[in-house]
Protein backbone atom coordinates (compact mmCIF):
# COMPACT_ATOMS: atom_id res chain seq x y z
CA UNK A 1 0.00 0.00 0.00
CA UNK A 2 2.81 2.40 0.74
CA UNK A 3 6.25 3.09 -0.61
CA UNK A 4 7.77 4.55 2.50
CA UNK A 5 10.46 6.46 0.65
CA UNK A 6 10.76 9.94 -0.84
CA UNK A 7 10.59 10.01 -4.62
CA UNK A 8 11.74 12.79 -6.94
CA UNK A 9 9.31 14.63 -9.22
CA UNK A 10 10.47 14.41 -12.84
CA UNK A 11 7.63 16.23 -14.61
CA UNK A 12 4.37 17.99 -13.84
CA UNK A 13 1.34 16.78 -15.82
CA UNK A 14 -2.22 17.98 -16.32
CA UNK A 15 -5.05 17.32 -13.82
CA UNK A 16 -2.91 17.59 -10.68
CA UNK A 17 -0.71 14.71 -11.71
CA UNK A 18 3.06 14.32 -11.72
CA UNK A 19 5.54 11.80 -13.07
CA UNK A 20 7.95 10.35 -10.52
CA UNK A 21 10.83 7.97 -11.13
CA UNK A 22 12.44 5.44 -8.85
CA UNK A 23 15.23 3.12 -9.94
CA UNK A 24 14.25 3.57 -13.56
CA UNK A 25 10.57 2.84 -12.99
CA UNK A 26 8.33 5.73 -13.89
CA UNK A 27 4.91 6.24 -12.35
CA UNK A 28 2.18 8.85 -12.58
CA UNK A 29 0.87 9.99 -9.19
CA UNK A 30 -1.66 12.51 -7.97
CA UNK A 31 -0.44 15.76 -6.40
CA UNK A 32 -3.98 16.98 -5.67
CA UNK A 33 -3.22 17.04 -1.93
CA UNK A 34 -0.21 19.37 -2.26
CA UNK A 35 0.33 22.95 -3.40
CA UNK A 36 3.10 24.37 -5.62
CA UNK A 37 4.84 21.09 -6.41
CA UNK A 38 7.99 21.70 -8.47
CA UNK A 39 10.17 19.42 -10.57
CA UNK A 40 12.97 18.22 -8.29
CA UNK A 41 10.80 18.08 -5.15
CA UNK A 42 10.90 14.83 -3.17
CA UNK A 43 7.43 13.55 -2.32
CA UNK A 44 6.08 10.86 -0.04
CA UNK A 45 3.67 8.74 -2.09
CA UNK A 46 0.97 6.58 -0.58
CA UNK A 47 -1.43 4.54 -2.75
CA UNK A 48 -0.89 6.82 -5.73
CA UNK A 49 -1.19 10.15 -3.89
CA UNK A 50 1.56 12.44 -2.69
CA UNK A 51 0.89 13.17 0.98
CA UNK A 52 3.73 15.51 1.77
CA UNK A 53 6.90 17.09 0.43
CA UNK A 54 10.33 16.55 1.97
CA UNK A 55 11.97 19.59 3.52
CA UNK A 56 15.65 19.37 2.47
CA UNK A 57 16.86 21.69 5.25
CA UNK A 58 15.11 19.65 7.92
CA UNK A 59 16.45 16.44 6.34
CA UNK A 60 19.99 17.79 6.77
CA UNK A 61 19.27 19.01 10.30
CA UNK A 62 17.92 15.58 11.24
CA UNK A 63 21.13 13.96 10.00
CA UNK A 64 23.16 16.41 12.09
CA UNK A 65 21.11 15.46 15.15
CA UNK A 66 21.65 11.78 14.39
CA UNK A 67 25.40 12.30 14.14
CA UNK A 68 25.25 14.21 17.40
CA UNK A 69 23.34 11.36 19.09
CA UNK A 70 26.01 8.97 17.83
CA UNK A 71 28.98 10.88 19.28
CA UNK A 72 28.95 9.37 22.79
CA UNK A 73 28.32 5.94 21.29
CA UNK A 74 31.17 6.26 18.78
CA UNK A 75 33.53 7.23 21.58
CA UNK A 76 32.60 4.02 23.42
CA UNK A 77 32.86 1.99 20.25
CA UNK A 78 36.46 2.81 19.47
CA UNK A 79 37.46 -0.74 20.22
CA UNK A 80 34.67 -2.05 18.05
CA UNK A 81 35.58 -3.94 14.87
CA UNK A 82 33.03 -4.58 12.12
CA UNK B 1 19.33 6.81 -3.24
CA UNK B 2 19.08 10.35 -1.99
CA UNK B 3 17.26 10.85 1.33
CA UNK B 4 17.27 7.10 1.92
CA UNK B 5 20.80 5.70 2.09
CA UNK B 6 22.08 8.34 4.52
CA UNK B 7 19.43 7.24 7.02
CA UNK B 8 20.56 3.61 6.78
CA UNK B 9 24.16 4.03 7.96
CA UNK B 10 24.93 0.94 10.03
CA UNK B 11 27.85 2.44 11.95
CA UNK B 12 25.73 5.42 13.01
CA UNK B 13 22.88 3.10 14.01
CA UNK B 14 25.21 1.04 16.22
CA UNK B 15 26.66 4.22 17.70
CA UNK B 16 23.19 5.58 18.56
CA UNK B 17 22.38 2.16 20.06
CA UNK B 18 25.46 2.49 22.26
CA UNK B 19 24.29 5.96 23.29
CA UNK B 20 20.86 4.49 24.14
CA UNK B 21 22.54 1.75 26.20
CA UNK B 22 24.58 4.29 28.15
CA UNK B 23 21.58 6.55 28.81
CA UNK B 24 19.08 3.82 29.69
CA UNK B 25 19.14 3.57 33.48
CA UNK B 26 20.40 0.12 34.57
CA UNK B 27 17.68 -1.88 36.29
CA UNK B 28 14.97 0.21 34.68
CA UNK B 29 12.88 -1.47 32.02
CA UNK B 30 11.73 0.59 29.03
CA UNK B 31 8.94 -0.72 26.83
CA UNK B 32 7.86 1.25 23.76
CA UNK B 33 5.10 0.47 21.30
CA UNK B 34 5.64 1.16 17.63
CA UNK B 35 2.05 1.77 16.60
CA UNK B 36 2.49 1.60 12.86
CA UNK B 37 2.92 -1.48 10.66
CA UNK B 38 5.65 0.29 8.69
CA UNK B 39 7.65 0.64 11.86
CA UNK B 40 6.98 -2.98 12.84
CA UNK B 41 8.41 -3.96 9.48
CA UNK B 42 11.46 -1.71 9.99
CA UNK B 43 12.09 -3.10 13.49
CA UNK B 44 12.22 -6.63 12.10
CA UNK B 45 13.96 -5.85 8.83
CA UNK B 46 16.85 -3.88 10.31
CA UNK B 47 17.22 -5.96 13.48
CA UNK B 48 16.53 -2.90 15.64
CA UNK B 49 15.77 -5.07 18.68
CA UNK B 50 19.18 -6.72 18.41
CA UNK B 51 20.87 -3.31 18.53
CA UNK B 52 19.00 -2.18 21.63
CA UNK B 53 20.11 -2.94 25.18
CA UNK B 54 18.14 -5.72 26.87
CA UNK B 55 16.23 -3.31 29.08
CA UNK B 56 14.80 -1.40 26.09
CA UNK B 57 12.14 -3.45 24.28
CA UNK B 58 9.71 -2.79 21.44
CA UNK B 59 6.07 -3.97 21.45
CA UNK B 60 4.19 -4.18 18.17
CA UNK B 61 1.01 -2.15 17.91
CA UNK B 62 -2.26 -2.35 15.95
CA UNK B 63 -1.30 0.08 13.18
CA UNK B 64 -1.64 -2.31 10.27
CA UNK B 65 -4.80 -1.43 8.32
CA UNK B 66 -5.34 -4.88 6.84
CA UNK B 67 -4.79 -6.55 10.21
CA UNK B 68 -7.39 -4.56 12.15
CA UNK B 69 -10.17 -5.06 9.61
CA UNK B 70 -12.63 -7.53 11.16
CA UNK B 71 -13.62 -10.74 9.36
CA UNK B 72 -17.23 -9.57 8.98
CA UNK B 73 -16.23 -6.69 6.72
CA UNK B 74 -14.17 -9.00 4.48
CA UNK B 75 -17.25 -11.25 4.28
CA UNK B 76 -19.28 -8.20 3.22
CA UNK B 77 -16.78 -7.36 0.49
CA UNK B 78 -16.86 -10.94 -0.80
CA UNK B 79 -20.68 -10.93 -0.82
CA UNK B 80 -20.59 -7.64 -2.74
CA UNK B 81 -18.15 -9.00 -5.29
CA UNK B 82 -20.29 -12.08 -5.87
CA UNK B 83 -23.34 -9.98 -6.82
CA UNK B 84 -24.06 -10.05 -10.55
CA UNK B 85 -22.87 -6.91 -12.28
CA UNK B 86 -20.59 -5.77 -9.45
CA UNK B 87 -16.87 -5.13 -9.92
CA UNK B 88 -14.99 -4.86 -6.63
CA UNK B 89 -11.79 -2.82 -6.69
CA UNK B 90 -9.39 -3.45 -3.83
CA UNK B 91 -5.84 -2.79 -2.69
CA UNK B 92 -3.80 -5.92 -3.32
CA UNK B 93 -2.93 -6.67 0.29
CA UNK B 94 -6.56 -7.55 1.05
CA UNK B 95 -6.76 -10.37 -1.47
CA UNK B 96 -5.55 -13.17 0.80
CA UNK B 97 -7.00 -12.13 4.16
CA UNK B 98 -8.90 -15.11 5.58
CA UNK B 99 -12.67 -14.62 5.75
CA UNK B 100 -15.37 -16.87 7.22
CA UNK B 101 -15.42 -20.49 6.19
CA UNK B 102 -11.92 -20.41 4.73
CA UNK B 103 -12.91 -17.87 2.08
CA UNK B 104 -10.97 -14.87 0.79
CA UNK B 105 -11.26 -12.33 -2.00
CA UNK B 106 -8.78 -14.42 -3.97
CA UNK B 107 -10.97 -17.52 -3.67
CA UNK B 108 -14.05 -15.49 -4.56
CA UNK B 109 -12.26 -14.31 -7.70
CA UNK B 110 -11.42 -17.91 -8.56
CA UNK B 111 -15.13 -18.66 -8.15
CA UNK B 112 -15.93 -16.07 -10.80
CA UNK B 113 -16.33 -12.81 -8.89
CA UNK B 114 -15.05 -9.73 -10.71
CA UNK B 115 -12.42 -8.50 -8.26
CA UNK B 116 -9.65 -6.22 -9.46
CA UNK B 117 -6.55 -5.10 -7.66
CA UNK B 118 -5.90 -1.38 -7.99
CA UNK B 119 -2.89 0.71 -7.01
CA UNK B 120 -4.90 3.84 -6.37
CA UNK B 121 -8.48 5.10 -6.09
CA UNK B 122 -7.98 6.80 -9.46
CA UNK B 123 -7.74 3.36 -11.09
CA UNK B 124 -11.16 2.48 -9.65
CA UNK B 125 -12.64 5.71 -11.04
CA UNK B 126 -11.14 4.90 -14.43
CA UNK B 127 -12.67 1.41 -14.42
CA UNK B 128 -16.10 2.90 -13.62
CA UNK B 129 -15.73 5.35 -16.52
CA UNK B 130 -14.51 2.72 -18.98
CA UNK B 131 -17.16 0.16 -18.05
CA UNK B 132 -20.48 1.95 -17.53
CA UNK B 133 -22.29 -1.40 -17.53
CA UNK B 134 -20.53 -2.53 -14.32
CA UNK B 135 -21.38 -1.42 -10.80
CA UNK B 136 -17.89 -0.53 -9.53
CA UNK B 137 -17.36 -0.63 -5.75
CA UNK B 138 -14.09 0.53 -4.20
CA UNK B 139 -13.17 -1.41 -1.04
CA UNK B 140 -11.80 1.50 1.01
CA UNK B 141 -9.63 0.60 3.98
CA UNK B 142 -6.85 2.18 5.97
CA UNK B 143 -5.94 4.78 8.51
CA UNK B 144 -5.71 8.52 7.82
CA UNK B 145 -3.08 7.90 5.13
CA UNK B 146 -5.44 6.33 2.61
CA UNK B 147 -8.56 8.29 3.60
CA UNK B 148 -7.71 11.44 1.59
CA UNK B 149 -7.27 9.30 -1.55
CA UNK B 150 -10.78 7.90 -1.05
CA UNK B 151 -12.17 11.38 -0.38
CA UNK B 152 -10.65 12.74 -3.60
CA UNK B 153 -12.14 9.82 -5.56
CA UNK B 154 -15.59 10.38 -4.07
CA UNK B 155 -15.45 14.07 -4.95
CA UNK B 156 -14.30 13.21 -8.46
CA UNK B 157 -17.09 10.65 -8.91
CA UNK B 158 -19.60 13.30 -7.89
CA UNK B 159 -18.09 15.85 -10.26
CA UNK B 160 -18.12 13.37 -13.14
CA UNK B 161 -21.64 12.26 -12.14
CA UNK B 162 -20.59 8.61 -12.15
CA UNK B 163 -23.68 6.61 -11.30
CA UNK B 164 -21.92 3.26 -11.33
CA UNK B 165 -19.29 4.05 -8.67
CA UNK B 166 -19.57 3.64 -4.91
CA UNK B 167 -17.30 3.18 -1.90
CA UNK B 168 -17.45 0.50 0.78
CA UNK B 169 -15.91 2.59 3.55
CA UNK B 170 -13.80 1.01 6.30
CA UNK B 171 -11.53 3.93 7.11
CA UNK B 172 -10.38 4.06 10.72
CA UNK B 173 -8.67 6.61 12.95
CA UNK B 174 -5.34 6.37 14.74
CA UNK B 175 -5.93 8.29 18.00
CA UNK B 176 -8.88 6.10 19.16
CA UNK B 177 -6.75 2.98 18.54
CA UNK B 178 -3.90 4.37 20.67
CA UNK B 179 -6.48 5.20 23.32
CA UNK B 180 -7.88 1.64 23.20
CA UNK B 181 -4.42 0.14 23.64
CA UNK B 182 -3.72 2.36 26.64
CA UNK B 183 -7.17 2.01 28.20
CA UNK B 184 -6.22 -1.21 29.98
CA UNK B 185 -4.54 -1.51 33.35
CA UNK B 186 -0.75 -1.53 33.18
CA UNK B 187 0.69 -4.87 34.07
CA UNK B 188 4.33 -5.73 34.27
CA UNK B 189 3.59 -9.43 33.96
CA UNK B 190 1.05 -9.25 31.20
CA UNK B 191 -0.26 -12.56 30.05
CA UNK B 192 -3.41 -13.78 28.36
CA UNK B 193 -5.27 -13.73 31.67
CA UNK B 194 -4.45 -10.21 32.74
CA UNK B 195 -4.84 -8.57 29.35
CA UNK B 196 -2.70 -5.51 29.98
CA UNK B 197 0.71 -4.79 28.59
CA UNK B 198 2.92 -2.07 30.01
CA UNK B 199 3.77 0.64 27.51
CA UNK B 200 6.06 3.48 28.56
CA UNK B 201 5.84 5.44 25.34
CA UNK B 202 4.96 5.40 21.65
CA UNK B 203 6.82 5.64 18.42
CA UNK B 204 4.17 7.64 16.56
CA UNK B 205 3.23 6.72 12.97
CA UNK B 206 5.02 8.39 10.08
CA UNK B 207 2.56 8.55 7.18
CA UNK B 208 -0.55 9.00 9.29
CA UNK B 209 1.16 11.99 10.86
CA UNK B 210 1.93 13.58 7.48
CA UNK B 211 -1.86 13.89 7.16
CA UNK B 212 -3.05 14.60 10.71
CA UNK B 213 0.09 16.33 12.04
CA UNK B 214 1.43 15.90 15.56
CA UNK B 215 -1.28 17.85 17.40
CA UNK B 216 -3.79 14.95 17.81
CA UNK B 217 -1.30 13.07 20.00
CA UNK B 218 -0.96 15.90 22.51
CA UNK B 219 -4.20 15.10 24.37
CA UNK B 220 -3.31 11.38 24.47
CA UNK B 221 0.20 12.01 25.78
CA UNK B 222 -1.18 14.31 28.45
CA UNK B 223 -4.11 12.09 29.49
CA UNK B 224 -2.13 8.85 29.72
CA UNK B 225 1.16 10.51 30.71
CA UNK B 226 3.03 8.68 27.96
CA UNK B 227 5.59 10.26 25.65
CA UNK B 228 5.00 10.08 21.89
CA UNK B 229 7.77 10.55 19.32
CA UNK B 230 6.61 10.65 15.70
CA UNK B 231 9.30 8.88 13.67
CA UNK B 232 10.30 8.13 10.10
CA UNK B 233 10.62 4.60 8.71
CA UNK B 234 14.38 4.41 8.22
CA UNK B 235 16.49 2.58 10.80
CA UNK B 236 18.27 5.73 11.99
CA UNK B 237 14.87 7.42 12.40
CA UNK B 238 13.80 4.56 14.66
CA UNK B 239 17.02 4.62 16.68
CA UNK B 240 16.82 8.38 17.16
CA UNK B 241 13.15 8.19 18.17
CA UNK B 242 13.90 5.47 20.73
CA UNK B 243 16.71 7.61 22.17
CA UNK B 244 14.31 10.56 22.40
CA UNK B 245 11.78 8.34 24.22
CA UNK B 246 14.44 7.08 26.67
CA UNK B 247 15.46 10.67 27.41
CA UNK B 248 11.82 11.70 27.98
CA UNK B 249 11.30 8.81 30.41
CA UNK B 250 14.53 9.67 32.24
CA UNK B 251 13.42 13.30 32.52
CA UNK B 252 9.91 12.31 33.65
CA UNK B 253 8.39 14.08 30.62
CA UNK B 254 5.47 12.95 28.47
CA UNK B 255 5.62 15.30 25.52
CA UNK B 256 4.85 14.85 21.85
CA UNK B 257 8.09 15.20 19.89
CA UNK B 258 8.60 15.08 16.14
CA UNK B 259 11.66 13.19 14.94
CA UNK B 260 10.29 13.09 11.34
CA UNK B 261 10.34 16.84 10.94
CA UNK B 262 11.56 16.57 7.34
CA UNK B 263 8.15 15.20 6.36
CA UNK B 264 5.71 15.89 9.20
CA UNK B 265 4.45 19.26 10.42
CA UNK B 266 2.54 20.12 13.56
CA UNK B 267 -0.65 20.91 11.63
CA UNK B 268 -0.36 18.13 9.04
CA UNK B 269 -1.73 18.30 5.48
CA UNK B 270 -4.63 20.76 5.60
CA UNK B 271 -5.77 20.05 2.04
CA UNK B 272 -6.08 16.36 2.92
CA UNK B 273 -7.86 17.15 6.19
CA UNK B 274 -10.35 19.38 4.38
CA UNK B 275 -11.07 16.69 1.79
CA UNK B 276 -11.68 14.13 4.56
CA UNK B 277 -13.94 16.49 6.52
CA UNK B 278 -15.98 17.35 3.44
CA UNK B 279 -16.77 13.75 2.51
CA UNK B 280 -16.66 11.80 5.77
CA UNK B 281 -18.14 11.97 9.25
CA UNK B 282 -17.53 9.93 12.41
CA UNK B 283 -19.18 6.53 12.60
CA UNK B 284 -20.82 5.89 15.98
CA UNK B 285 -18.96 2.63 16.47
CA UNK B 286 -16.78 0.26 14.49
CA UNK B 287 -15.41 -3.20 15.18
CA UNK B 288 -11.62 -3.63 15.15
CA UNK B 289 -9.89 -6.95 15.06
CA UNK B 290 -8.05 -7.30 18.36
CA UNK B 291 -9.59 -4.20 19.94
CA UNK B 292 -13.31 -4.96 19.63
CA UNK B 293 -16.00 -2.29 19.16
CA UNK B 294 -14.58 1.21 19.52
CA UNK B 295 -16.83 4.29 19.58
CA UNK B 296 -15.99 7.20 17.24
CA UNK B 297 -13.06 5.27 15.81
CA UNK B 298 -14.02 5.07 12.13
CA UNK B 299 -15.54 7.11 9.32
CA UNK B 300 -18.60 6.87 7.10
CA UNK B 301 -19.79 8.90 4.12
CA UNK B 302 -21.75 12.04 4.93
CA UNK B 303 -25.43 12.25 4.02
CA UNK B 304 -24.53 14.55 1.12
CA UNK B 305 -22.63 11.65 -0.48
CA UNK B 306 -25.10 8.89 0.48
CA UNK B 307 -25.64 7.97 -3.19
CA UNK B 308 -21.95 6.97 -3.41
CA UNK B 309 -22.07 4.86 -0.24
CA UNK B 310 -22.00 1.14 -1.08
CA UNK B 311 -23.34 0.26 2.36
CA UNK B 312 -26.58 2.11 1.61
CA UNK B 313 -26.71 1.25 -2.06
CA UNK B 314 -26.44 -2.48 -1.38
CA UNK B 315 -28.06 -2.48 2.11
CA UNK B 316 -25.03 -4.04 3.78
CA UNK B 317 -25.57 -5.20 7.35
CA UNK B 318 -22.34 -6.53 8.79
CA UNK B 319 -22.43 -9.70 10.85
CA UNK B 320 -19.69 -9.77 13.47
CA UNK B 321 -17.74 -12.97 12.97
CA UNK B 322 -15.26 -14.53 15.35
CA UNK B 323 -11.69 -15.10 14.24
CA UNK B 324 -10.22 -18.57 13.99
CA UNK B 325 -10.06 -19.42 17.72
CA UNK B 326 -6.51 -20.74 17.48
CA UNK B 327 -5.24 -17.55 15.81
CA UNK B 328 -3.85 -14.99 18.21
CA UNK B 329 -3.87 -12.00 15.85
CA UNK B 330 -6.07 -10.09 18.28
CA UNK B 331 -3.55 -10.31 21.11
CA UNK B 332 -0.62 -9.69 18.74
CA UNK B 333 -2.33 -6.46 17.65
CA UNK B 334 -2.65 -5.33 21.27
CA UNK B 335 1.00 -6.09 21.97
CA UNK B 336 0.05 -8.83 24.45
CA UNK B 337 1.43 -11.71 22.43
CA UNK B 338 4.58 -11.87 20.34
CA UNK B 339 4.13 -13.54 16.93
CA UNK B 340 6.32 -16.54 17.76
CA UNK B 341 4.27 -17.19 20.92
CA UNK B 342 1.20 -18.07 18.85
CA UNK B 343 1.02 -21.82 18.44
CA UNK B 344 0.03 -21.46 14.78
CA UNK B 345 3.10 -19.34 13.92
CA UNK B 346 5.37 -21.03 11.45
CA UNK B 347 3.44 -24.29 11.58
CA UNK B 348 0.12 -24.05 9.74
CA UNK B 349 0.35 -20.26 9.57
CA UNK B 350 2.90 -18.72 7.23
CA UNK B 351 2.71 -16.11 4.46
CA UNK B 352 1.93 -18.92 1.98
CA UNK B 353 -0.98 -20.21 4.10
CA UNK B 354 -1.99 -17.37 6.43
CA UNK B 355 -4.48 -18.21 9.16
CA UNK B 356 -4.80 -14.63 10.34
CA UNK B 357 -4.43 -11.13 9.01
CA UNK B 358 -1.14 -10.39 10.82
CA UNK B 359 0.51 -12.98 8.57
CA UNK B 360 -1.14 -11.73 5.36
CA UNK B 361 -0.14 -8.10 5.29
CA UNK B 362 3.56 -7.37 4.87
CA UNK B 363 2.99 -4.76 7.58
CA UNK B 364 1.64 -7.37 10.00
CA UNK B 365 3.79 -8.26 12.98
CA UNK B 366 3.70 -12.00 12.17
CA UNK B 367 4.69 -11.53 8.51
CA UNK B 368 7.53 -9.20 9.55
CA UNK B 369 8.77 -11.69 12.13
CA UNK B 370 8.48 -14.54 9.62
CA UNK B 371 10.47 -12.65 6.98
CA UNK B 372 13.22 -11.21 9.13
CA UNK B 373 13.15 -12.40 12.70
CA UNK B 374 12.22 -16.01 13.03
CA UNK B 375 15.76 -17.33 13.30
CA UNK B 376 16.84 -14.70 15.80
CA UNK B 377 15.97 -16.66 18.89
CA UNK B 378 17.42 -19.93 17.71
CA UNK B 379 20.23 -21.20 19.86
CA UNK B 380 23.30 -21.90 17.79
CA UNK B 381 23.70 -25.62 17.34
CA UNK B 382 26.57 -27.06 19.35
CA UNK B 383 29.32 -28.51 17.16
CA UNK B 384 29.28 -32.27 17.12
CA UNK B 385 32.41 -33.59 18.79
CA UNK B 386 34.72 -35.23 16.30
CA UNK B 387 34.73 -39.01 16.41
CA UNK B 388 37.83 -40.33 18.08
Looking at the domain assignment, is residue B248 inside a domain?
A: no
pLDDT on residue B194: 36
Which residues of chain A neighbour B11 with C-beta distances below 8 Å?
74, 82
Chain B nearest-CA distance from A57, in A, is: 8
Give B275's pLDDT tier (boundaries 50, 70, 90). very high
pLDDT digits (tens, 9 = 90+) for B124-150: 999 999 999 999 999 999 999 999 999
Which residues of chain A neighbour B20 with C-beta distances below 8 Å?
73
In terms of CA atoms, which chain B residue is nearest residue A23?
A: B1
pLDDT digits (tens, 9 = 90+) for B211-253: 999 999 999 999 999 999 999 999 999 999 999 999 999 999 9
- Test mutation, B2, B68, B91, B120, chain A, max A CBs within 10 A: B120
Mean pLDDT throughout B152-177? 97
Chain A nearest-CA distance from B335, in A, is: 23
pLDDT on residue B190: 45
Number of domains in chain B: 1
Helix (H, G, I), strand (E, B) or coil at A47: coil
pLDDT averaged over every residue in chain B: 91
Residue A29 has phi, psi (to 5 degrees) of -130, 160
Looking at the domain assignment, is residue B94 inside a domain?
A: yes
pLDDT digits (tens, 9 = 90+) for A19-50: 998 888 899 999 999 999 999 999 999 999 99
Looking at the domain assignment, is residue B103 inside a domain?
A: yes
Name the E strands within B175-260. Answer: 201-204, 228-230, 256-258
Q: Which of B3, B119, B145 shows the shortest C-beta gap to A6?
A: B3
DSSP state of B388: -
Looking at the domain assignment, is residue B187 inside a domain?
A: no
Report pTM. Answer: 0.91
Looking at the domain assignment, is residue B349 inside a domain?
A: no
Taking the C-alpha atoms of residue B176 and residue B184, their distance in angstroms, rounded to an integer, is 13
Among A34, A29, A59, A58, which residue's Cα sits nearest to residue A45? A29
| 8 Å CB contact between B37 and B364 | yes
Q: In what order do the strands lie in the sheet with B201-204?
A: B56-63, B30-36, B201-204, B228-230, B256-258
pLDDT digits (tens, 9 = 90+) for B40-82: 989 999 999 999 999 999 998 888 899 899 999 999 999 999 9
Contact call for B6 and A63, based on CB within 8 A: yes
Whole-number CA gyration radius for chain B:
22
In terms of CA atoms, which chain A residue is nearest residue B66?
A: A1
Range of the domain at B277: 71-172+268-314
Range of the domain at A37: 5-79
Helices and strands in chain B: count of H runs, count of E runs: 17, 11
Mean pLDDT throughout B25-36? 94
Spatial CB neighbours of B385, under 8 Å, sequence gap ≥ 6: none
Long-range contacts from A22-29, C-beta under 8 angstroms, 24+ separation: A22/B1, A23/B1, A29/B120
Contact call for A52 and B65, based on CB within 8 A: no
Looking at the domain assignment, is residue B255 inside a domain?
A: no
Which residues of chain B neighbour A47 with C-beta distances below 8 Å?
91, 119-121, 142, 145-146, 149
Looking at the domain assignment, is residue B100 inside a domain?
A: yes
Looking at the domain assignment, is residue B273 inside a domain?
A: yes
Give A81's pLDDT tier (boundaries 50, 70, 90). low
Number of domains in chain A: 1
Which residues of chain A neighbour B12 with C-beta distances below 8 Å?
66-67, 70
DSSP state of B262: T
CB neighbours (10 Å) of residue B54? 9
Helix (H, G, I), strand (E, B) or coil at B287: strand
Contact call for B18 and A76, based on CB within 8 A: yes
Which residues of chain B neighbour A74 with C-beta distances below 8 Å?
11, 15, 18
CATH number at residue A47: 2.30.30.140
Taking the C-alpha atoms of residue B128 and residue B140, their distance in angstroms, rounded to an integer, is 15
Taking the C-alpha atoms of residue B60 and residue B65, their distance in angstroms, rounded to an integer, is 14
Which residues of chain A neighbour B15 with C-beta distances below 8 Å?
69-71, 73-74, 77
Cβ burial of A65 (10 Å; 0-12, 13-18, 19+) is middle
Adjacent-strand bridge partners of B141: B170
pLDDT on residue B330: 85
pLDDT on residue B108: 97
Contact call for B207 and A6, based on CB within 8 A: no
Tally A–B CB contacts below 8 A. 140
In SS3 terms, B314-329 reads as: CCCCCCCCCCCCCCCH
CATH number at residue B283: 3.40.50.11740
- Test mutation, B52, B56, B207, B266, chain A, max A CBs within 10 A: B207
Q: In what order do the strands lie in the sheet with B165-171?
A: B114-117, B86-90, B135-142, B165-171
- Test mutation, A9, A45, A52, chain B, max B CBs within 10 A: A52
Q: Which of B11, B119, B239 shows the shortest C-beta gap to A47?
A: B119
Amino acid sequence: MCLAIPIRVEALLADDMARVTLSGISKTVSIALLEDVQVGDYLLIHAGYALTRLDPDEAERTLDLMREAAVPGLAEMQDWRP
Amino acid sequence: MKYIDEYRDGTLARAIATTIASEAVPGRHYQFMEFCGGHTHAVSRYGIEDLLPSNVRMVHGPGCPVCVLPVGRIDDAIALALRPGVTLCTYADLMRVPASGGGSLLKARSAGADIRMVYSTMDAIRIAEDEPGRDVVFFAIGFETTTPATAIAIRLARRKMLRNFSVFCNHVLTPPAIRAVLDVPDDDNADEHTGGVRIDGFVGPAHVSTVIGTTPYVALAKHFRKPVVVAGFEPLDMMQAILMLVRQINDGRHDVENQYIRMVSEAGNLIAQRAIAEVFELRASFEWRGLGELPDSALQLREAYADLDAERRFSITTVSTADNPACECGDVLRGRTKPAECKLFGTVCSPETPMGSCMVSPEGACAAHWAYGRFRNRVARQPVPAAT
